[in-house]
Structure 1
Amino acid sequence: MRLLFWVAVLFGGAVGLALFTQFNHSNVVLFYPPYRVELSLNLALALLLLAFFVAWTVLSTIRHISEMPRRAASYRERSRMSKAQAALREAIENLFAGRFARAERAARDAQAWPEQAQTAALIGARAAHRMQESDRRDVWMAQVTDPEREQARLVSMAELLVDARDAEGALETIAQLQAQGGRQIHVQRIALRAHQHLKNWSEVLRLARSLEKRNALHPVLALRLKQMAVEAMLEERRHDADALLYFWKSLSTDERRAVRIAESAARYFSALGHQNEARRIVEDALKVNWDSRLVQRYADCAEPGRALPQIQQAEQWLAQHPNDADLYYTLGVLCLGQQLWGKAQSSFERALKYAEPEAQRRLRVRAHLALARLFEDTERPEDAQRHYRESAMLAA
């Protein structure tokens, strides 16, 4: 439509100009003594138009000639910028492709354009780090001095330091970053790794909880990190019952019911003589996670001569897990402590019956040893010797 409009305007102008020249009989007279020039108005207008175009052409030519040096310099600048941008793209691609030497060379070429020189320095630092050239990495990082890129420099440096297992240096860098107001999730992940290297388990637990709430850690990884941290902190307090109990109550319900955490806590409480607390820990965890380690630990939670409530609880569990060899073994140990010889013997024998020959070899060895000691206590030496031999053969 636009083309048709301008064609119509052009034709209209041509028709108007033709009519104007056809019916225009005016003259133009120029006096320049002693000369007198007489022209038609149409010719005078044509000469003026021609003179305008000639002057415009001459002035445009002069302007273009005068601007040639500036245009040449601008062209060279654009060419240099284009090559630098291509080098930056090449550096990024080589970095992701694992060609770190090429990435570093391309990053050096990308610095030809000052606007992206410091961005290229960050890429060069990562490439040098991947080649374990820490000195070159630091040289690259020293080139990043722009305040607007300070955060990128600090985050990158912290990540590279923790990757090089310089956890203290990484935490110092993170402290500088946080002093400027940086609280990114990625920074917390880096700090988590650094504290894990330094075995700062309280910080590991805090950061793992925080990242898990923000869905910034895979649930399995978050659970594993929390288990490691809690296990280590429980071990640190294993000789102090009050500190152990205070820390245990500070944990969340899900953390207390985790198998590894509950098993460790029950072991430490039992060793300190707090069997009731250990018993509650195991029973609460088994409501959610039925696990052989917790079942076997339950036998250690009995007070000498007061295991009847636990025997009753174990029998209730047997109604739900009638073929559980670990539960039968635990019940046998509890009955043995109460000197319920017949029930203990039948429980150990059922543990041997339901225990898998290969997967539960250790359980079978322990069951044979328990039966051997039971028969010794009940003065049946031949049966005791037989079970000792069985346990020795399985252990071998």
Structure 2
Amino acid sequence: MKRLVGLLALLALALAGAWLWRIVAADPGYVQIALRGWSIETTLVVATTALILALAALWLVVKLLRMPGRYWSRRRRHVARERLAGGLVALHEGRWHRAERLLTRAASEPQHRLPALLGAARAAQSRGDTQRADELLAQAGERGDALVAALVAARQHQRSGDAPAITALFDAQPVAALPPRAIELYVKALAATGRAGEAVGLLPALRTSRVLEGDALTQEEDATIAAALQQAADAQTLASTWGNLSRAQKIRAPIVAAYARRAVDLGDSDAAVTAVEDAMRKRWSPELAAIYGRLPRGGGRSPLKMAESWLTAHPDDPGLLVTLAKLCRKEQIWGKAEDYLQRALAHGAGAAAWEELGHVHAAQHRNDAAADAYAKALAVQRGERAQTRSDRPLRDEIAKVAVAEVRSDMGVPRLPYEEADEDDAQPPA
């Protein structure tokens, strides 16, 4: 097909040429140029051909004259690209001085100036020369994107832990103009400077920017919302912030825990208990189970029944067992509290279980046992193994007194003597 098109084009050119030749042959035209006694006479065809050749010769001369300049320009750009590439590799390898030198020299090329200066500033920051880094960032801001330069400065402030400096960089900028990484740094800085309520308003922009995704985004959102709840100045602000959250957010453990702690601080313990119980009905959380036992209660409602209902699905959770022990201690059910703590320790509970066991013994005026439990809690906190009096492993020591929970086919806990009675009731073989 292409050959056919080419042949047709050549045929069309040949026909056009023949047609023009007939016109020129019939009347070739006449051109006369007279200047200072000189006269040149020729046909129009010859004059046109001479003019075309003269223009072609002039173009060739100009091309030859510009060739050295173009060569050096291409050479300069090539060298700048090589320096930029070498500087970025050196920056990645941690060769800060080499990276700064190459990138600073690469900045002489206008096309590479901004990325080269930003890379050189990062190299200066990495080797600890903040003054030089500020100079390079100022140059990048003068001749490039000021927000990009501000982002590099913000990362420098993040390394030094200067959150107020980060907020000062971005407070005056519209959120829509901020780069994705700048939004992330701005959100964290706002939360760290007591302005987490403003940071919550930036979470949709953070989600849209896609600088964080998946679990990382969820964790950042939870941390920001939790900080906003903790920083609520009064009960009204706390209730407003909590009410603006979605249903999915109201069952996330870090958010619910932050709300519960702040509600207790502001004197609304009932709201804290309700929030924890609602969240636990929809999603199990060891963190919330541990917090539940520390929440103060108003009125005569006992939380022990609610906590024991969670034990059916999570009988071996150490945090829940410690929580149950705390609730039993508050209601002065000493034996049951000790049983829960022994089971918790048998399933790997740490210092919190030993400390609670000390509280249980102290409440019963068993001072020696309480002192021993507190000492073991301190030892576990230090990373040491809790020593038992018989010098046996902790799990084996507790196994002597720990009673395994036995449930019926309907899921109802059975006491050991009930199981023994059933065995005795079996007819002899």
TM-score, shorter chain, exceeding 0.5: yes
Unaligned runs of 5+ in 2: 7-52, 380-429
Q: Relative to 1, partners in 2 of residues 1:258 and 1:86: Cα closer, same or farther, differing over 3 Å?
A: same
**1:190 maps to which residue?**
185
Q: Relative to 1, partners in 2 of residues 1:119 and 1:345: Cα closer, same or farther, differing over 3 Å?
A: closer
**1:322 maps to which residue?**
315
Q: Relative to 1, partners in 2 of residues 1:93 and 1:280: Cα closer, same or farther, differing over 3 Å?
A: same
3-state SS of 1:359 partner: coil
Q: Relative to 1, partners in 2 of residues 1:242 and 1:74: Cα closer, same or farther, differing over 3 Å?
A: closer
**2:354 maps to which residue?**
364
**2:376 maps to which residue?**
394
| Counterpart residue type for residue 345 of structure 1 | G
Contact 2:257 2:291 in 1 (8 A): yes
Contact 2:122 2:152 in 1 (8 A): no
**2:106 maps to which residue?**
110
**1:164 to 2:157 alignment:** yes
Contact 1:266 1:282 in 2 (8 A): yes
1:125 to 121, 126, 145: 121
**1:282 to 2:276 alignment:** yes
User: Aligned partners of 1:119 and 1:305: how far apart in 2?
Assistant: 65
Contact 1:227 1:261 in 2 (8 A): yes
User: Aligned partners of 2:150 and 2:183: how far apart in 1?
Assistant: 14
2:199 to 176, 200, 204: 204
Q: Relative to 1, partners in 2 of residues 1:196 and 1:69: Cα closer, same or farther, differing over 3 Å?
A: same
User: Aligned partners of 1:274 and 1:359: how far apart in 2?
Assistant: 30
Q: Relative to 1, partners in 2 of residues 1:131 and 1:66: Cα closer, same or farther, differing over 3 Å?
A: same
| Counterpart residue type for residue 311 of structure 2 | L
User: Aligned partners of 2:343 and 2:361: how far apart in 1?
Assistant: 13
| Counterpart residue type for residue 192 of structure 1 | V
- Within a 5 Å distance, the mapping from 1:1-396 to structure 2 comes to 69-117=65-113, 120-144=116-140, 150=144, 152-165=145-158, 167-174=163-170, 178=174, 182-196=177-191, 198-212=193-207, 215-237=210-232, 240-301=234-295, 303=297, 306-308=300-302, 310-338=303-331, 341=333, 344-356=334-346, 359-373=349-363, 375-376=364-365, 384-385=366-367, 387-395=369-377
User: Aligned partners of 1:390 and 1:122: how far apart in 2?
Assistant: 60
| Counterpart residue type for residue 105 of structure 1 | R
Give how far 1:92 is off: 3.3
Contact 2:191 2:228 in 1 (8 A): no
Give how far 1:305 is off: 6.3
Q: Relative to 1, partners in 2 of residues 1:184 and 1:87: Cα closer, same or farther, differing over 3 Å?
A: closer
**2:13 maps to which residue?**
none
TM-score (norm 2): 0.61
Q: Relative to 1, partners in 2 of residues 1:163 and 1:316: Cα closer, same or farther, differing over 3 Å?
A: same
Q: Relative to 1, partners in 2 of residues 1:131 and 1:303: Cα closer, same or farther, differing over 3 Å?
A: closer
Q: How many residues align?
A: 329
Q: Relative to 1, partners in 2 of residues 1:145 and 1:392: Cα closer, same or farther, differing over 3 Å?
A: closer
Q: What is the CA RMSD across the aligned residues, in angstroms?
A: 4.1
User: Aligned partners of 1:163 and 1:258: how far apart in 2?
Assistant: 32
User: Could you tell me the percent identity over the aligned residues?
Assistant: 23
Q: Relative to 1, partners in 2 of residues 1:204 and 1:222: Cα closer, same or farther, differing over 3 Å?
A: farther
TM-score (norm 1): 0.65
User: Aligned partners of 1:272 and 1:67: how far apart in 2?
Assistant: 82
| Counterpart residue type for residue 255 of structure 1 | Q
| Counterpart residue type for residue 158 of structure 1 | L
| Counterpart residue type for residue 177 of structure 2 | G
Q: Relative to 1, partners in 2 of residues 1:319 and 1:189: Cα closer, same or farther, differing over 3 Å?
A: closer
**Higher fraction of helix:** 1
Contact 1:159 1:190 in 2 (8 A): no
